[in-house]
Amino acid sequence: MVKIISGPKGSGKTKKIINIANSKINETMGEVVFINDREKYREKLNRAIRYVNADEFRISSSDILFGFLNGLIAENYDIDTIYIDNLLRICRVDNVDEINEFLSGLNNIENKYNTKFVLSVTSEKEEMVELQNAYAE
């Protein structure tokens, strides 16, 4: 199941997802990928984690990101976990309702290829109620 770390802006989601990714690298035999749209987080990650700057690949919507993720997995079946920090900003959407189809697609990928996804989403609690029922930890 797709795991979601949510909270308002400035609540420490990026720090938390980086810490989770750094600890996961020691527990897995597979590859770990971390996607963000800010270069400054690259140096906070363990060097064994593949860092992807979404802006360098012109990822600007959930459809483009979904295709990109499929390409990553098609190229490397050894990917164990993909972390995506600040999903709404990368996809350039303002509302969590706009990513429901994307999240459903991630669940399908996870079931088919056994690749786990951990996402951070900037959102107030009221917006996350329905989404958490379906996806969040």
| Residues 25-79: tens digit of each pLDDT | 888 889 999 999 988 889 999 999 999 999 999 999 999 999 999 999 999 989 9
Does residue 132 carry a pLDDT above 70? no
Where in the chain are the domains?
A: 3-134
Q: Where are the alpha helices (DSSP H) in 1-137?
A: 13-24, 62-75, 87-91, 100-113, 125-134
CATH 3.40.50.300 fits 3-134, yes or no: yes
Predicted TM-score (pTM) above 0.85: yes
CA 52 → CA 15, 68, 70, distances in Å? 17, 11, 14
What strands, in cross-sheet order, belong to the sheet with 116-122? Answer: 3-7, 116-122, 79-84, 31-36, 50-53
